[in-house]
Amino acid sequence: MAWRPFMSLLAALRFLTRMPIPGPETRNEDLGRAVGWFPLVGALVGLVTAGAFRLGLRWWSAPVAAVLAVAFGLLLTGGFHEDGATDAADGLGGGWTRERVVEIMHDSRIGAYGAMALWVQLSFRWAALVALDRRALLALPLAMVWGRWSVAVLLTALPPASQGMAAAVHQGVGRLPLVLSTLLLGLLNGVAWWLGFRDLWQPALAAGAAVLLWVVYLKHRMGGQTGDLLGAGNQLVEAAVLLALMAR
């Protein structure tokens, strides 16, 4: 029992990144509990990606450094959420029924909607790094914290819309992962405030609105969530937070 928090943290790192994580083998039942640690992993990914951008500025211009940082971040995560958002765009854009949407999302090929969505995702992250400059070291981790927190909310608020990994994870998600995820969210926002980000109500409002709208939309359109739709929600919330942080 005492090892469960440690095992769920390992599971979160292994699930959301491509880092070689040593330790005991992850069990299926650890994945549901791992959701509680997602904001912490998001902070790590955002910090490393933004750090790569700041390091790249020593040798290259901001646009070049931002491209390299985005590429590094994709290597770190395997494009996990980006892939889900791409599949979700294809499914929601090309399917008229829930069954057809799910069928399209399960297709490994990228369609026109997915290609456009992927271009927008990566272009926006590149533009955000360039625009934020030094503030990226705090802003990008903060945005990814909110984005990963949205996964716990969606899994708690919506039932599975199809069978798959998300359905298996949903079975292990109870109140504790959502509570832990929210506590980490508050703690990491507190760290950002302490480091100089004072107007945190703006990204909080943007993230809350994005999560609420996505929940309502998915409940009406799909009757639930899938892994790809969770990835899309993560990307939407992350973008909403970055837009709020960059607003003049």
pLDDT, one tens digit per residue, over 203-213 is: 999 999 999 99
The count of other CB atoms within 10 Å of the CB of residue 121 is 22
Residue 11 lies in a domain: no
Residue 173 lies in a domain: yes
Residue 16 lies in a domain: no
How confident is residue 95, by pLDDT bands cut at 50, 70 and 90? confident
Number of domains in the chain: 1
Residues in a beta bridge with 160: 225
For the whole model, what pTM was predicted? 0.92
pLDDT of residue 169: 65
- Cα separation, 56 vs 129, in Å, equals 12
Residues in a beta bridge with 185: none
Residue 25 lies in a domain: no
Looking at 24-38, 47-61, 67-81, which range is the least confident one? 24-38
CA distances from 228 to 22, 121, 184, 233 (A): 27, 15, 24, 9
pLDDT of residue 161: 79
Residue 91 lies in a domain: yes
- Cα separation, 68 vs 129, in Å, equals 11
Residue 2 lies in a domain: no
Residue 129 lies in a domain: yes
Residue numbers of the domain that contains 208? 31-246
- The residue among 234 and 24 whose pLDDT is bigger is 234
